[in-house]
Amino acid sequence: MLGGLGLDGPAGGVQCSRAGCAETAVHAVHWRNPKIHGLERVKTWSACDEHVGFLAEFLRARDFPVVVTPVDETVERVVPEEAR
Ligand SMILES: [Zn+2]
């Protein structure tokens, strides 16, 4: 699905998605832009401990639904928190 990016390869470390950060990601930040993505669409950023809060807040500030999990977990949907 993400052809060529190597994000779904075997363990060995995924780099944090924050620009300029070379830390190994330990969190996954799943999100969706409700204006352009359907409910079944999930975008995922990887984040180190330091930047997981930054990345999640960046998305929440845009009113995007966000779900944070350990880096090796996936979610089927990103549902707005107020809808749970
Ligand atoms: Zn980072």
pLDDT single digits (tens) 7-56: 554 456 899 999 999 999 999 999 999 999 888 999 999 999 999 999 99
Positive or negative, the CA dihedral 24, 60, 8, 17 is negative
How close is the Cα of 22 to the center of ligand 1, in Å? 7
Residues 54-66 have a mean pLDDT of 96
How close is the Cα of 55 to the center of ligand 1, in Å? 9
The verdict on pTM exceeding 0.85 is no
How close is the Cα of 38 to the center of ligand 1, in Å? 28
**Closest by Cα among 31, 83, 78 to 57:** 31
How close is the Cα of 25 to the center of ligand 1, in Å? 7
Per-domain residue ranges of the chain: 27-83
How close is the Cα of 44 to the center of ligand 1, in Å? 14
The type of residue at 4 is G
How close is the Cα of 14 to the center of ligand 1, in Å? 11
pLDDT at 81: 59
